Structure 1
Amino acid sequence: MIFKRKIYEKLLEWKNLNGREALLIEGARRVGKSTIVQEFAKNEYESFILIDFARISNEVKDYFTRFSNNLDTLFMLLQNIYGVELKERKSLIIFDEVQRFPAARELVKYLVADGRYDYIETGSLISIKENVKDIVIPSEERAIKMYPMDFEEFCIAMGDKPLTIYIQDCFLKNIPLERGLHEKAMQLLREYMLVGGMPQVVSIYIESHKNFGEADRIKRNILNLYREDIMKINARYRSRVIALYDILPALLSKHEKRVVFGNIINGSFAEQYAETFFWLTDSMIVNECRKTDDPNIAPALNASETYIKCYMCDTGLLLSHAFNENEIMENEVYKQILMDKLSLNEGMLYENLIAQMLTANGHKLYFYTHYNEEKHRNDMEIDFLLSNNSKLKYKMFPIEVKSGKRYTTKSLSRFKEVYGKRIGNCYIIHPKNLSVKDDIICIPPYMTGLL
């Protein structure tokens, strides 16, 4: 099943460069990189060759080193092996799973300079960074990130594109949705939270007439793939990656949600986990959220190295990671969440969902807490802090996530008092319809991707 993906527009923009750069699409396993590139190749080129470096023979790999200085011979061999006629400036060559064969990535510099064809590389960063130590990364390579399907893409896949247009219109006008449509949007959002945005999972969910059990089976296959990939990495830090990967649901179910290194492996500390976070973040299995120490300054300039939250790249995967199969089925977890009746872990799922939606919209994630020495507790806790990234007119946009319909705004109000001059808009993301209270914009979670 082929879904409409927003990244297609970025591919069209790149194609208009007329071969001046190769394109590298980075993303976690199973987010749909290969599928969208093949669809793009079929629609936008007269012919294409897809070279899957996870499957090709050593003989074909050898061509890329033996004939790196003889591109005429290389192209002739590829055309004959794949039975495809390449046409100058009208054909695309795809390097799929390029992380498996870094020599091909290094050759991109010369392929782009040759100028005959266009080149797209796809790969999960699970191995890309580890496999580039001895090669020159081509400067003629543009990189873009691909994420799981966002909520808008999910709605379109479910046949509800008009609803997404209506949601955008209400957001821009700062008005609530009609009550019935708000309830419909929240129902779809709960489905999205349960199923997630992995295209293969969404596909089986639709084809099985919304069978959560079938969707859960595919999600567990993907989680197993991630675990298998972790077992292939450098043994020096493999055990720490596995340990952090395994306790992600437990971390997110706690109030603070941040990683306490000593709780992962007894006696461990932050410096030991530098490569662990580097690997998990670059593999895009997790969305990293760092504490900003001074909200008066752009978050990226003062992000903490030791106060970190890790959200799973896909909330549907997180749900399957958090519960075993028997727990999900025996306790009817899917049904309870769908009917908005599950209180256990609901905050964990909601906050992870918001992190996922913000990341897919291009935001780097930061949070802020302030410890009050007199009260011996945090008196300000901001779940997410977005920035306009301006150096001259810096503004920040604090966000609090509320999974329940009853809540207080003390923390956000206190934050407004202290940092008011730097604040653009304040947001609360809650299950209720859009409203504005005391200059705080309260939006339903399905509008998060529009921030």
Structure 2
Amino acid sequence: MADSIEDVIHKKLLELLRIYLIIGGMPAALEEYLSSNDLMNCLRIQTALLQTYRSDFGKYAKISQHKYLQKVFDTAPRMVGQRIKYSNIDTDTRSRDLKNALNLLALAGIVKPIYLTKASGLPLGAQIDEQKFKLNFLDVGLMQNSCGLQGRLSVEEDFMQINAGAVAEQFVGQELAAYSDKHQQGSIYFWAREKRGSMAEVDYVINIGSNILPVEVKSGKEGKLKSLRMFIDEKKSKLGIRFSRDRLSYYDKILSIPLYMVEQMPRLAGSLTR
């Protein structure tokens, strides 16, 4: 499998992915890039779209709630990949007010909560802890714009490292939600073991048919997949999935998929779990 894509094509696809991480998938930004090839114009469109979302708060919230929506909306992109604590959003605002604002943004499709699941059986959503969650933002392009990461995305060779890997994690999360089973309504989850001396966390947990599989978004080498292997051993999973900049490979129960092939993950994992 590792030799299935020529190196030159692999590098070209990674470069196209880098551009997508900057532009994102919002139609107006994509159309601008395809017609003008001008990234600065795309960034201006993204900024205008973010302001439009702020202006639309009045459509689904009272005026008294706008300031809380604003706080969550502005903070959420910077907290992708992190456990959410309301005190990290604003120490001076009651958790209840921030929770209500977050729920409104989730209902509007602007943020997507990623809940902790025990992952001991299906459905994954039946075993969640609603008090422990992370967030994904609406779109990876809007996320990086809000965080001011476009400059680093343009020049840094390893975009997996940017913002502690949050951009890549956001991208994988929104893709997993987009390609998930329609009956799951785009729900995605993560898993953690919180035992003293044996801590572990995997970025996402998915199911392919009846198989529950752990997913990590990593820039490191195979030896740094301790949490992934811990999940495989504890849950008796057939394999684990690693998204990275590396080429496609499968070894010792780890399916390593290049980020640009995330859409192919159900097919690839399905072929190995039959």
User: TM-score normalized by structure 2?
Assistant: 0.84
Q: In structure 2, do the counterparts of structure 1 residues 258 and 184 end up closer, same or farther at CA, with 3 Å as the change threshold? A: same
Task: Confirm or deny that 1:179 pairs with 2:7.
Answer: yes
Count of residue pairs the alignment pairs up:
259
- Other-structure match for 1:417: 233
Residue ranges of structure 2 left out of the alignment (5+ in a row): 181-185, 267-274
Q: Relative contact order, CA 8 A, sep 6+: which one is greater?
A: 2
Task: Give 1:447's aligned residue.
Answer: 261
8 Å CA contact 2:160, 2:244 repeated in 1: no
The match for 1:345 among 149, 163, 167 is: 163
Matches within 5 A, 1:110-129: none
Residue 333 of structure 1 pairs with residue 147 of structure 2: no
**Which residue, out of 299, 321, 326, partners 2:124?**
299
Q: Aligned in 2, Cα 1:411/1:220: closer, same or farther, shift over 3 Å?
A: same
Partner of 1:398: 214
Kindly indicate whether residue 147 of structure 2 is the aligned counterpart of residue 322 of structure 1: yes
Q: Alpha-carbon deviation of 1:270?
A: 5.5
- Deviation at residue 403 of structure 1 after TM alignment: 3.4
Structure 1 segments of 4+ aligned residues over 6 angstroms from their partners: none
Match of residue 195 from structure 2: 372
Q: What SS does the corresponding residue of 1:197 show, helix, strand or coil?
A: coil
The aligned counterpart of 2:26 is 198
* 1:386 corresponding residue in structure 2: 206
| Greater alpha carbon shift after TM alignment, 400-409 vs 180-189 | 400-409
**1:47-92: CA deviation from partner (whole Å, max 9, x where unpaired):** xxxxxxxxxxxxxxxxxxxxxxxxxxxxxxxxxxxxxxxxxxxxxx
Aligned to 1:207: 35
Residue deviations 1:306-356, cap 9 Å, x none?
112111121111111111xxx85xxx434214x446844161110001011
Q: Following the alignment from structure 2 to structure 1, what is the Cα–Cα distance between the partners of residues 38 and 160?
A: 19
Larger radius of gyration: 1
Distance 2:195 2:94 in 1: 25
Alignment of 1:38-49 (within 5 A): none
* Greater helix content: 2
CA contact (8 A) 1:403 1:430 kept: yes
Q: Is the 8 A contact 2:160 2:219 kept in 1?
A: no
Q: Secondary structure at the match of 1:387?
A: strand
Matches within 5 A, 1:55-134: none
- The structural deviation recorded for 1:406 is 7.3
Residue 104 of structure 2 is matched in structure 1 by 279
1:282, distance to aligned residue in structure 2 (A): 2.1
User: Structure 1's 184 and 436: CA in aligned 2 closer, same or farther, altered over 3 A?
Assistant: same
Unaligned runs of 5+ in 1: 1-169
Among all aligned residue pairs of Structure 1 and Structure 2, give the percentage whose two residues are the same amino acid: 25
TM-score, L = length of structure 1: 0.53
Amino acid at match of 1:370: R
Q: Which amino acid aligns with 1:364?
A: S
For residues 209-254 of structure 1, the C-alpha deviation after alignment (integer angstroms, 9 at most, x for no partner) is x2211110000010000111125522353332211111123312xx
